[in-house]
Structure 1
Amino acid sequence: MNLKKIISSNNGLSLIEVLVSLTILGIISIGIMNFFSQAYSFTSSNQNKTNAINVARNAMMYMEKQSFIEIKDEFDRNPSKEISLFICQKQYKMFWEGETVDPSCTPILVNEVEYSVSIHADNTEEDKSYILPITVKVEWTKHKKSNFTELEGVIKSEDIR
């Protein structure tokens, strides 16, 4: 019965009641907006990581198409040597460590983010006569924060392709 009196009452809401309800609504809204902000940040970082993994996969496929013998011989002569991958005239081009990079070449660019690709061989394998384990490392900087991801794989000799 008491609830019926309150509902049918002609009295309006007081200023205090309105301010309290707006304060509660504001606190709930801030929490919800914080959730969406964090979700956007997480989605953006995952997008960059996904792009980097795709760049690494493309680099791995590019390396599989190169001459196994030349790459293996170069890594055998200097196991710590690295290969850097750049875009030159809309194609991948590899530069061995110490080689001068052509000024017309650029790092790989996806969605306005530059990805630097370096490739090195894993020389712990005992028998490397037909396969060469390699690691592709992709680095990028977003919002002054450096990130990287690595992809491991092998390139095979033409003899078993």
Structure 2
Amino acid sequence: MKWIRHGNKESGLTLVEVLAALVILSVVSLVLTSFFTNALTYAKGNQSKTVMVNLARNALFYMEKQRFEPIQTYFSNTSNTAINCPLTGCNTAVSKLAEDSAVLQQILNPNINGVQYTISVIYQRDMHDAMLHDADKKNMAEELLPVLVRVEKANGSASARNAAEVEGYIASERVR
């Protein structure tokens, strides 16, 4: 910095130097503010993704505890590819899959912290057929149904941040 001398006296900074320092400080502050805003957005997205993965695991655990035969019969119909309930209520075929259809409705349509989610339990028919046609896996395949549990925000856009998936198996009572 430049000091202006008037005789034996020393003065402060010039106005130009003060303005230059303020401009540099402002630019640095804006960059840091942008960084923290992006970090906060990313953290909230990760929190939401964690909630959705936990909801998917919960739904898979619930489906694993239901009776195997009705679920297997439901998926044996080729037109039934997923178990899901709209917010208005489950259809009768889906309602019969759980011991308590009201609980199934709550499991598949949870509301967490004011955010509505929808959950679908999707039967992975191709994977199951491949297991049934493999001699080494045939016995196991008769006792397991491979599923993909997909959780989405009910009012969210179709992006990776608004959905989560968990794969698993629904096992027969003989294997449990």
TM range (shorter): 0.7 to 0.9
Q: Which is richer in helix?
A: 2
Per-residue deviation, 1:109: 1.1
Work out the percentage of aligned pairs sharing the same amino acid.
32
In the alignment, what sits opposite 2:75? 75
- The alignment status of 1:45 with 2:45, answered yes or no, reads yes
SS state at 1:30 partner: helix
1:118 to 117, 120, 134: 120
Contact 1:83–1:119, Cα closer than 8 Å, also in 2: yes
In the alignment, what sits opposite 2:174? 159
SS state at 1:160 partner: coil
In the alignment, what sits opposite 2:98? none
Q: Which is richer in strand?
A: 1
Contact 1:82–1:96, Cα closer than 8 Å, also in 2: no
Equivalent residues in 2 for 1:2-21 (5 A)? 10-21=10-21
Letter matched to residue 51 of structure 2: N
Per-residue deviation, 1:149: 1.4
SS state at 2:150 partner: strand
| Unpaired stretches in structure 1, ≥5 consecutive residues | 88-93
Letter matched to residue 165 of structure 2: E
Change (3 A) 1:152 1:114: same
In the alignment, what sits opposite 1:133? 146
Per-residue deviation, 1:78: 3.0
Aligned length: 150
Per-residue deviation, 1:80: 3.7
2:163 to 138, 148, 154: 148
In the alignment, what sits opposite 1:33? 33
Q: How high is the TM-score relative to the length of structure 2?
A: 0.73
**RMSD between aligned alpha carbons?**
3.2
Letter matched to residue 90 of structure 2: F
CA shift digits 1:53-75 (9 cap, x unpaired): 00000000000110011101110
- The alignment status of 1:109 with 2:111, answered yes or no, reads yes
Per-residue deviation, 1:95: 3.4
Change (3 A) 1:123 1:150: same
Letter matched to residue 15 of structure 2: L
Q: How high is the TM-score relative to the length of structure 1?
A: 0.79
Alpha-carbon distance in structure 1 between the residues aligned to 2:90 and 2:78 = 15
